[in-house]
Amino acid sequence: MAPHTTVEAVPPSTRGNDGGHAIGLGPMNLHGFLAREGIHYGSEEGLDFTDMYFMTVAYHAYRASHQIAVDRGHAFATFARSAYAKPAGQGNYFDKYTDGRRALEPRTERVRAIFDKYGIEIPSVEDWRELQAQIIRDGIYNQNLQAIPPTGSISYINHSTSSILPIPAKIEIRKEGKIGRVYY
């Protein structure tokens, strides 16, 4: 829900929105992008790209949410009790990016080349440590930042593949209300 939205008929939604400021950044066209880059969905390179992509998006989403918390002067309502607020190295949400247990660079040369080709910098352990310290100190505004949406219909409008799902068939048949069968 948007910051100034109220659904009086559903008080829990309003309370959740007011306290959590949840948003859902969601991807679409993963399979389309992989295909364009010559990478098979589900392959080692495909999994490597997906991992690096989502980690990089998460980093920037958290960084932006931190800045909003600073600008507005407060974090989401239950931040102090969340894993985001725990001290570094003591179960903090971001420890997985800062303690060496997770790869922060592509495992394959092909994926490294794709990120280089598009000028996208993958956050380093130092980037994550700096962000972790800032978030522990100031918080983040949004309790939830990412969601994998069902983007089936809107993806057709954008000439994209749906969400993170593989292409189901060369031609997809869907029933569209009064129109009947539609072929994509």
Q: Structural domain boundaries of the chain?
A: 11-183
**pLDDT tier, 55 (very low <50, low <70, confident <90, very high otherwise):** very high
Number of C-beta neighbours around residue 70 at 10 A = 16
Percent of the chain with pLDDT over 70: 71
Contact 151, 145 (CB under 8 A): no
Exposed/middle/buried for 12, CB within 10 Å: 0-12, 13-18, 19+? exposed
Q: What is the pLDDT of residues 26-53, one digit of tens each?
A: 677 888 899 999 999 999 999 999 999 9
Domain 11-183, architecture per CATH? Alpha-Beta Barrel (3.20)
Q: What is the pLDDT of residues 107-138, one digit of tens each?
A: 999 999 999 999 999 999 999 999 999 999 99
Q: How many helices (H) and strands (E) does the chain have?
A: 7, 2
Give yes or no for residue 105 having a pLDDT over 60.
yes
Contact 28, 152 (CB under 8 A): no
> What predicted TM-score, i.e. pTM, was given to this entire model?
0.80
Q: Helix, strand, or coil here: 174?
A: strand
Helix 44-72 and helix 109-117, axial crossing angle in degrees, nearest 10: 40
**What is the rounded CA–CA span in Å between residue 168 and residue 5?**
36
93: left (phi over 0), alpha (psi -120 to 50) or beta: alpha
Largest CA distance in the chain: 57
Question: Terminal CA-to-CA distance of the chain, rounded, Å?
Answer: 31
